[in-house]
Structure 1
Amino acid sequence: MTAVEFNYNLQHLIPALEPFAYKLTKDSANAKDLIQETMLKAFSNKEKFMVGTNMKAWVFTIMRNTFLTNYQKSARQKTFIDTSENLHFINSTSIKQENSAYGNFAMNDIQKAIAELDDAYSEPFMMYFRGFKYHEISDRLSIPIGTVKNRIFLARKELKEVLSMYAN
């Protein structure tokens, strides 16, 4: 294939590449940049194209690989790695002051709401909260697993209504 034929075939693939580039980038300006970069790579690597193979598939593969490489580069650039020796200051609580009054009010309201639940609902709910599995609660309370799930659901629903003031 001559260079003129290669360039001609490459130019006619641009309309087919546009939707794929937009699908990858979700932005028309970035899609145009990706197409331009793909065309540049395809043109500069035309000697690697084997005559008789599918040129469209070859160019689409170049585009996909270019997009993935650029995406990985941008992800690496956004990653912050602190190499200083002061790592102990990152999560230090010695400088942080906290007002726990709001948390105390919320916790008191939660405990009060759970205490006001019917025992049939609060017992399975608290067991689930402590980490028991549904089948373990079912075995310990000698009730069907469906009943356990229902009671936990109803307890959550009632607690959500009672504690709606803490939703945000």
Structure 2
Amino acid sequence: MTAVEFDHQIASLHDTLELFTRRFTKNQEESEDLIQDTVLKALTYRDKFRQNTNLKGWLYTIMRNTYINNYRKAQRNKTTHDDTKELYYLNVADDYTFNLPDGNFEYNDIMSCVNEVKEDLLVPFKMHMEGYKYHEIAEHLEIPIGTVKNRIFHARKEIQSKLVAYTGS
């Protein structure tokens, strides 16, 4: 099959592909995007298509795999779709603040409990909370990595025991 024949057959299957996208999405734009991605991949990987193979089935497989990969990517990114006119929700300013009086009180209470922890437990705990890795803390403090993990664990337990009021018990 020549490249022109291949392109013509793919173009003739556009309506069939559009119907098949309805299995995945009801949104017209997403449907068109999926068709475009499918056709692009089919044209890009034309050399992978074997003669005497069902072209429609091959395109369906590409479309299904493309949809699944896009879905998984969206799940990993936790993206949201704003279907409102003019993307209203994406352009709304975020007026939520974390500086609420009770939140500030809780933060101060938690920090006072953290600062009451023994110094040998507090330093590795604070470094870990600042984003340092266990091995970086161990190198900085010149102690074994197991000791670092142990001290962080015991600091957490001590802080948790002091914060019983917040557990609801």
> TM-score normalized by structure 1?
0.48
Computing the radius of gyration from Cα coordinates, the structure with the larger value is: 1
- Normalised to the residue count of structure 2, the TM-score between the two structures is 0.48
